[in-house]
């Protein structure tokens, strides 16, 4: 099993969710986060004053899948999140040792 963490632009969340549903991925956790990479911050105007916004709003998607689905899920997320502009995001793959479903006590792949 692998945990996939994807950081994407907020307006791409719905298209990523729909694309994952189409390939049979139905569960995920979403967190609103802020950060920056190569794009750094940007300047904005508020009541005539200019100020720097250091962190940009992002969405973090977390899901655990069977190891044989990782490539398909990664490519699905990449295609759905792609805008072609800087700041499209990153996808991280993390090994998962075990999973336990609290309600039923199921473990491993049965608990996903």
The pLDDT score that the predictor gives to residue 77 is 98
Taking all residues of the chain, what is their mean pLDDT, rounded to a whole number?
Answer: 91
What does the alpha-carbon distance between residue 103 and residue 61 come to, in Å, rounded to a whole number? Answer: 23
- Determine the Cα–Cα distance for residues 18 and 28; give it in Å rounded to an integer: 12
For the domain spanning 2-110, the CATH number is 3.30.70.120
pLDDT reported for residue 65: 95
pLDDT tens by residue, 62-108 = 999 999 999 999 999 999 999 998 889 999 999 999 999 999 999 99
Domain coordinates in residue numbering, the chain: 2-110
In DSSP notation, 26-79 reads ---EEEEEEE-STT--EEEEETTEEEEE-SEEEEEEEEEE-GGGHHHHHHHHHH
59 contacts 34 by C-beta, under 8 angstroms: no
């Amino acid at each position: 099993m692998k945990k996939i963490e994807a950081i994407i632009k907020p307006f791409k969340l719905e298209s990523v969710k729909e694309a994952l549903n189409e390939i049979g991925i139905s569960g995920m956790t979403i967190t609103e986060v802020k950060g920056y990479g190569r794009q750094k911050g940007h300047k904005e105007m508020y009541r005539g004053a200019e100020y720097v916004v250091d962190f940009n709003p992002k969405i973090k998607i977390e899901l655990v899948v069977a190891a044989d689905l990782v490539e398909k899920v990664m490519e699905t997320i990449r295609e759905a999140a792609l805008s072609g502009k800087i700041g499209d995001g990153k996808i991280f793959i993390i090994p998962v040792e075990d999973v336990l479903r609290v309600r039923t006590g199921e473990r491993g792949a049965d608990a996903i």
